[in-house]
């Protein structure tokens, strides 16, 4: 089939959930695009962002590694994190390479494109913006917490999140990809600090609302302390709609098998619990529920099974 006629799948997000999803999608007969958050401010990413005034490279680095078809040793090298030396300690080689290529190429997006070419990346990767940005949260008690890494630590219920400085300009290629998508997948991950920064820019939110494609949210399996404590599946979707507009999401993918007691006990130590799938409320919101056993049993931590989720998403494409 002509590659241009393959269905267009756009995945938005960041954090640990997005690369897992992309690994399952990258070998399907689709045109795959990843739109990645650049609001992270912790660790190596935060240091490079502040010192070089570039968008945060950490989530981009993980997406490049997930979509790369390079030799495993090259990907391992790209993901290597130094743990000795005053200057290099904490930095990953991939972050440093992205910073260097940004300096050489002249802007962040061009730097990503060059690194992607070298590492034989399948699909396209766009930062949600070429601008360095900061994430802020307004809590329900009215306080403002600044910095992606600080928001969960406040341990307060979040009312909304927003970006600065304003206006933040999205990458035009990111907006165009959303407008042309056959399916937009909102990846699992930290709801307010990984997912929201990718979708709350007005032009991005508008593109998601107005797309002719289906918008599918792959719901988190566990709640996250300081972000989604006590949230049901419908609460997750409602938070997204509160930020980008009602009826923005068409479908939700949920895990429908019980979580083992031993795993629940481990997560309970982090004040996390299984997300309750409040089916009746989801249906009242007009959502199509796509459910299955989508957890990878080979992982010690709860992780989506990339092949199972990819198969579910591909089944939606074939229906359309």
Q: Going by DSSP bridges, is the β-strand pair 158-164/144-146 parallel, antiparallel, or unpaired?
A: unpaired
- Asked whether residue 148 falls in the same domain as residue 113, the answer is no
123: three-class secondary structure by DSSP:
coil
Domain end, chosen from 124, 155, 186, is at: 124
- Asked whether residue 120 falls in the same domain as residue 145, the answer is no
- Asked whether residue 99 falls in the same domain as residue 143, the answer is no
Model confidence band, residue 256 (pLDDT cutoffs 50, 70, 90): confident
> What is the distance between the alpha carbons of residues 83 and 112, in angstroms, rounded to a whole number?
25
- Asked whether residue 144 falls in the same domain as residue 169, the answer is yes
- Asked whether residue 164 falls in the same domain as residue 229, the answer is yes
Q: Going by DSSP bridges, is the β-strand pair 183-186/8-13 parallel, antiparallel, or unpaired?
A: parallel
pLDDT tens digit string along 279-290? 999 999 999 999
User: Contact, 57 vs 127, CB < 8 A?
Assistant: no
Least confident of 155-159, 167-171, 189-193, 301-305: 301-305
Residue holding tokens 């600065």? Answer: 164
- Asked whether residue 25 falls in the same domain as residue 7, the answer is yes
> What is the distance between the alpha carbons of residues 292 and 257, in angstroms, rounded to a whole number?
8
> What is the distance between the alpha carbons of residues 295 and 255, in angstroms, rounded to a whole number?
7
Instruction: Answer yes or no: is pLDDT of 297 > 80.
Output: no
- Asked whether residue 161 falls in the same domain as residue 228, the answer is yes
- Asked whether residue 203 falls in the same domain as residue 264, the answer is yes
User: Three-state SS across 163-183?
Assistant: EECCCCCECHHHHHHHHHCCE
Token reading at 126: 């766009």
Residue 94, domain extent: 41-124
Count how many domains the chain has.
Answer: 2
Domain end, chosen from 93, 124, 155, is at: 124
pLDDT tens digit string along 265-277? 888 888 889 999 9
- Asked whether residue 70 falls in the same domain as residue 162, the answer is no
**Could you tell me which residues come within 8 angstroms of residue 7 by beta carbon, excluding any fewer than 6 positions away?**
30, 31, 182, 183, 317, 320
Domain end, chosen from 79, 95, 124, is at: 124
185: three-class secondary structure by DSSP:
strand
- Asked whether residue 119 falls in the same domain as residue 262, the answer is no
Give the domain CATH number at 266. 3.40.50.10680
pLDDT tens digit string along 115-141? 999 999 999 999 999 988 889 999 999
> What is the distance between the alpha carbons of residues 24 and 20, in angstroms, rounded to a whole number?
7
- Asked whether residue 132 falls in the same domain as residue 90, the answer is no
pLDDT of residue 1: 60
pTM (two decimals):
0.93
Model confidence band, residue 54 (pLDDT cutoffs 50, 70, 90): confident
- Asked whether residue 86 falls in the same domain as residue 211, the answer is no
pLDDT of residue 49: 74
Residue holding tokens 């795959």? Answer: 32
Handedness of CA 292, 3, 32, 115 (dihedral sign): positive
């Amino acid at each position: 089939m002509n590659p241009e006629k393959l269905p267009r799948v756009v995945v938005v997000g960041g954090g640990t959930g997005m690369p897992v999803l992309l690994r399952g999608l990258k070998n399907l007969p689709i045109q795959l695009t990843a739109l990645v958050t650049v609001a992270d401010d912790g660790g190596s990413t935060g240091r490079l962002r502040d010192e070089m005034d570039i968008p945060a490279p950490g989530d981009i680095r993980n997406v490049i590694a997930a979509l790369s078809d390079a030799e495993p040793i090259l990907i391992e090298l790209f993901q290597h994190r130094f743990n000795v030396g005053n200057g290099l300690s904490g930095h990953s080689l991939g972050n440093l390479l992205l910073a260097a290529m940004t300096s050489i190429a002249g802007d962040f997006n061009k730097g990503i494109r060059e690194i992607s070419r070298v590492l034989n990346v399948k699909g396209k990767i766009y930062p949600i913006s070429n601008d360095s940005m900061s994430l802020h949260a307004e809590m329900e008690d009215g306080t403002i917490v600044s910095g992606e890494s600080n928001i969960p630590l406040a341990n307060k219920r979040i009312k909304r999140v927003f970006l600065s400085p304003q206006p933040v300009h999205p990458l035009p290629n990111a907006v165009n990809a959303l407008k042309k998508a056959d399916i937009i997948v909102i990846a699992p991950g930290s709801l307010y600090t990984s997912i929201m920064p990718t979708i709350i820019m007005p032009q991005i939110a508008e593109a998601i609302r107005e797309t002719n494609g289906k918008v599918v949210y792959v719901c988190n399996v566990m709640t996250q302390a300081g972000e989604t404590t006590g949230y049901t599946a419908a609460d997750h979707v409602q938070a997204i709609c509160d930020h980008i507009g009602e009826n923005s999401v068409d479908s939700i993918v949920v895990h429908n098998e019980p979580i083992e007691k031993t795993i629940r006990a481990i997560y309970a130590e982090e004040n996390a619990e299984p997300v309750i799938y409040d089916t009746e409320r989801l249906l009242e919101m007009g959502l199509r529920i796509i459910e299955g056993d989508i957890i990878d049993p080979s992982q010690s931590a709860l992780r989506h099974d990339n092949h199972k989720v990819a198969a579910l998403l591909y089944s939606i494409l074939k229906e359309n």
